[in-house]
A and B are shown apart, each in its own frame.
Chain A
Amino acid sequence: MFKLSPEGVEFVKSEVARYESKESAIIPALYRVQKENDNWVPNEAISELSQIMDIPEARINEVFHFYTMFNKEPVGKYHVQVCTNVACAMAGTREILKDLCDEHGVKVGEVTSDGRYCFQNVECLGSCGTAPMLQINQDKYNENLDIEKTKQLLKDLP
């Protein structure tokens, strides 16, 4: 069962105090949970946040479900988010995504059996001049890719 670290609890409390409306701290708090829990937010974390922040669970859930960057289920160690919007699609990212899924025997959005990857199509990430691009978890963008570079990039991950 997930529980925020003591530092995580302190962080959430400081975010609650930081903004003029404490609800503004919901997004930062959810990010913190995600960071401490392999990049996804389990349901029990919502109750915990509700207690720490003194905000009803329903309010937190509203925010949690509205935004795409909060993962509702496990997304593997590496959540590989491939942009398939206009410029990236033109540069071949849909083929890259398909290739990755085929190679690992998964569908888009499924976690590989070893729990290492989840390949996901996402909308434009603002990197269209350096397409094809993808983002792993919430890390620095990977740009100017092709299928070979992408495979190497994944292999080089720890």
Chain B
Amino acid sequence: MPESKLLTEHYHKDEYRGLQGYKANGGYQVIEKAFKMDPQKIIEEVLNSGLRGRGGAGFPTGRKWSFLPDNGEPRYLLCNADEGEPCTFKDRMMMERAPHQLIEGMVISAFAIKSHKSYIYVRGEYTESVEILREAIKEAYDAGYLGKNILGSGFDHDMDVYAGAGAYICGEETGMISSLEGKKGQPKLKPPFPAVKGYLGKPTIVNNVETLAAVVPIIKDGADAYKKFGTEKSTGTKLFSVSGDVQKPGNYEVPLGMPLRELIELAGGMKPSRTLKAVIPGGTSAPVLNKEEAEKATMDYECLAEMGSMLGSGAVTIIDDTRCMVDMLHVITHFYHHESCGQCTPCREGTGWLNKIVNSIVEGRGRLQDIDTLCKVADHMKGKTICALSDAAALPVLSFVPKFRSEFEFYIREGRSKVKGTRYAEMHA
């Protein structure tokens, strides 16, 4: 199965970044079609397309939009471009290769949900994406695709870019809203959901970059055409960020449901004389798959959920037989410990303990009973906190340890890695 480039067809052309080039390749035509439609009809089309959020949770987009209360309050659209889930790099490419596609998708979405103001919240490190978006927004204002009475439709919409300042937790939608309001980026307990009470207490729809861009082909050719791609419950195409031990890492847009084996082939296959050992299929928060699971997996929401993992953000990390799973888990536990916002005790303390225990193992100070302590701590972190970061930190532990237990036991007994033969010199500050 080849790639199916619904979104990325023109990404290789440099001209596609600018307004003229975008238009020359069919851009900004769907916006005109959308303005002739009833906003409610657009929401229905998105609902019928089966589009699910591409940011990680996979919530049906049309359903989220229909949760907006009809109370006359101003509504906000917030594009989540925080892209902090480790190994994810698709949103950055989308913003840098096709900023106008995102703007077009956002204006159509805003028109559908009757929002007159949107923000694109970009992680602070993406300085280049921020510059490209600011330039594109300026072009779009000048050409009348943003601002007052867009294309004579009577619809007004303003758009702005906001740069974050380094915090994974600001990718969580309520954390993002707090951050945009000028506070610490700490999540809030849900409900109320942002669709009811979001930015400045007003109804707010938060969607990922890829989700909002996908609205363009859905409205262009209709829900039925979109559903021709993918499986029954995972419709359309998805950008997968493939990284790690493959020969051609990169972003690949393929129909959902593609066998993981084929995705690996698309990314150049394994390196010479190496074999597949494991795959993290949806960002580091997604439980790891062992070789047998990876060989059977298809890249859709249902299959990965059935295997106890998830599609997440679409970040697929390929791990070959030269890798030490204890070392890999160490990198991951360090990350979550660094990123916990500290509000909830199970998460703040738990991420600290996980990191400390794995740290002691890689430094050769581990004890065999630490393996069970590790799992017990992780187990107590699930489902008890304000946001899902705590679970996201627990799940890698609860999959790495049971699936690769012998590597952990070996490391503890021998004080060195079963795969590498040495002890990994601790380098994290």
Contacts and interface: CB of A to CB of B under 8 A. Distances in A.
A and B from one complex: yes
Interface of A: 18-28, 30-31, 62-63, 66-70, 84-87, 89-90, 94, 97-98, 107-109, 120-121, 123-131, 135, 138-141
A30 B182 CA distance: 12
B1 interface: no
Contacts of B338: 123
A21 B335 contact: no
19 contacts: A24-B180, A24-B181, A27-B165, A63-B182, A63-B183, A63-B184, A68-B165, A68-B166, A68-B167, A86-B86, A86-B244, A86-B328, A87-B87, A97-B427, A98-B427, A108-B427, A123-B339, A128-B315, A135-B125
B185 A66 contact: yes
Contacts of A21: 181-182, 200
Interface residues of B, number: 56
Contacts of A27: 124, 162-165, 179, 182
Contacts of A30: 165
Interface string B323-349: 100011001100100110000000000
A50 B191 CA distance: 34
Interface string B67-95: 00000000000000001111111011000
A62 B184 contact: yes
A98 B425 contact: yes
A123 B183 CA distance: 22
B112 interface: no
A146 B185 CA distance: 35
Nearest to B125: A125
Contacts, number: 144
A85 to B, nearest CB: 5
A134 to B, nearest CB: 11
Contacts of A20: 200
A66 B91 CA distance: 24
Interface of B: 83-89, 91-92, 123-128, 160, 162-168, 179-185, 200, 241-245, 249-251, 280, 284, 315, 317, 319, 323, 327-328, 331-332, 335, 338-339, 425, 427-429
A98 to B, nearest CB: 6
A63 B181 CA distance: 11
B244 A87 contact: yes
Given A30-B165, A66-B185, A127 B331 contact: no
B60 to A, nearest CB: 26
Contacts of A98: 425, 427
A27 B425 CA distance: 37
Q: Which of A27, A70, A98, A127 has the most CB of B within 10 A?
A: A27
Contacts of A84: 331, 427-428
A90 B425 contact: no
Contact of B429 (A18, A67, A121, A127): A121
Given A67-B164, A68-B165, A124-B84, A109 B182 contact: no
B123 to A, nearest CB: 7
B81 to A, nearest CB: 10
A60 B92 CA distance: 29
Contacts of A139: 127
Nearest to A119: B429
Given A68-B165, A129-B251, A86 B128 contact: no
Contacts of A86: 86-87, 243-244, 280, 284, 317, 328, 331-332
Contacts of A90: 244-245, 319, 323
A123 B162 contact: no
A69 B245 CA distance: 30
A68 B125 CA distance: 10
B266 to A, nearest CB: 13
Contacts of A22: 182
A129 B165 contact: no
Contact of A23 (B168, B181, B427): B181
Contact of A129 (B127, B249, B427): B249
Contact of B241 (A66, A67, A129): A129
A20 B241 CA distance: 36
A87 B243 contact: yes
A69 B165 contact: yes
A63 B427 CA distance: 29
A69 B124 CA distance: 8
Contacts of A120: 429
A21 B201 CA distance: 12
Contact of A24 (B86, B87, B162, B332): B162
B297 to A, nearest CB: 19
A121 B334 CA distance: 12
A85 B165 contact: no
B87 A121 contact: no
Nearest to A97: B427
A141 B89 contact: no
A131 B91 CA distance: 17
Contact of B243 (A109, A131, A138): A131
Nearest to A25: B182
B331 A85 contact: yes
B351 to A, nearest CB: 13
Contacts of A23: 181-183
B163 A31 contact: yes
A95 B243 CA distance: 19
